[in-house]
Amino acid sequence: MAFRRRNKSYPFFSQEFLIQNHADIVFSLVIFILIGLMFEATAKTAILFIQPQYNITTLSLEGEVTTYHYGWKDCATILFYFFIAIILHAVVQEYLLDKVNRRLHLSKSKNTKFNESGQLCVFHLVSSVWSFYILITEGYLLHPSSLWENYPHSHLRFQVKFFYLTQLAYWLHALPELYFQKVRKEEIPRQLQYICLYLLHTSAAYLLNLNRVGLVLLFLQYVSELGFHIARLLYFTDENHQKMFDLWAASFVFTRMATLTLMFLAVGFGLARSENQGLDLEMGNFNTVLIR
């Protein structure tokens, strides 16, 4: 499975060979893990990489309900979907963005930004739709008080846990992509900053059991960023398309106001008045003044 056209061959294990063939190498690792499912001796180990771990089945009025909590085995699952993210990144780059780039004839600086916005546009679109679906099906939008009631929310539904694991995998994969995509040195600090901020905030929401509030905040952020990257893509195709930036600016203000309102209600009002105050690592309770 070749993702990039081989115009020139490079020595094995050289820097250019790794950059040109990184997606194929990672694809081979994914196939190796999937083959492990076929054999009884390795199936249990392979499952650690593919399926979220730490499931708990309880009985309720609706029947058996399976929930999940987090642990160190999540690192294996994140690693697998880290590989998947690299492969999907290469697919989008090779079969979509590179073809558009060849038609637009952009400069190197614009080409870098076009690729960045193209990749993030796809990711933000998928993540915003996915997070909105979770918010609807879990009932968080219809019952906003559920965002802070009964904290800590240490038991997650499958779709919530899987969403967070894939989010962490995506933003982790963005770090080596700075090298694989040969991002210009002057662009690296800016991209590195927002990648680390996404990793920090997503990890905090997941590990501090603030996953419900985190879902809403990520949804608002992704919708806002989706508008920005669509506007920037349209601007690169035709510099007269600047009205989309005005629409994005309006949505940016709205999402920031919604974010501030939500944080005041959930953290400043809901968690501050919760009965579960104090630090309890066993229960997963991090509801302290300092952490809030």
Q: Round to whole Å and give the CA distance between 47 and 72.
A: 15
Q: So what's the pLDDT on residue 8?
A: 63
d(CA 69, CA 65): 13
Please state, rounded to an integer, the average pLDDT across all residues of the chain: 89
Do 158 and 57 contact (CB within 8 A), yes or no?
no
Residues 33-87 have pLDDT tens digits of 999 999 999 999 999 999 999 998 887 767 788 899 999 999 999 999 999 999 9
Q: pLDDT at position 149, please?
A: 87
Question: Rounded to whole angstroms, what are the CA distances from 35 to 47, 81, 112, 161?
Answer: 11, 16, 36, 25
Identity of the amino acid at 72: W
* Owner of token pair 């992509």: 177
Residue 1, pLDDT above cutoff 60: no
Q: Which of 113, 217, 127, 219 is nearest to 167 (CA)?
A: 127
65 sits in which H/E element: strand 63-68
Q: What is the DSSP letter of 285?
A: E
Mean pLDDT of 248-262: 91
Q: Are 258 and 242 in contact (CB under 8 A)?
A: no
Comparison of pLDDT for 96 and 9, the residue scoring more? 96
* Residue 6 scores a pLDDT above 70: no
pLDDT digits (tens, 9 = 90+) for 239-251: 777 788 888 998 8
* Band of pLDDT at residue 107, cut at 50, 70 and 90: confident
Rounded CA separation 145/258 (Å): 15
Cα(82)–Cα(171) distance, integer angstroms: 9
Handedness of CA 138, 142, 143, 146 (dihedral sign): positive
* Three-state secondary structure call for residue 278: strand
**How much is the pTM?**
0.92
Q: Cα-Cα-Cα-Cα dihedral of 5, 6, 12, 13, to 10°?
A: -40
Interval 269-287: pLDDT, tens: 888 888 778 888 888 888 8
Which tokens belong to 215? 């879902």
DSSP of 6-34, one letter per residue? -SS---TTSHHHHHHHHHHHHHHHHHHHH
What pLDDT digit, counting tens, does each position of 181-231 carry?
888 889 899 999 999 999 999 999 999 999 999 999 999 999 999 999 999
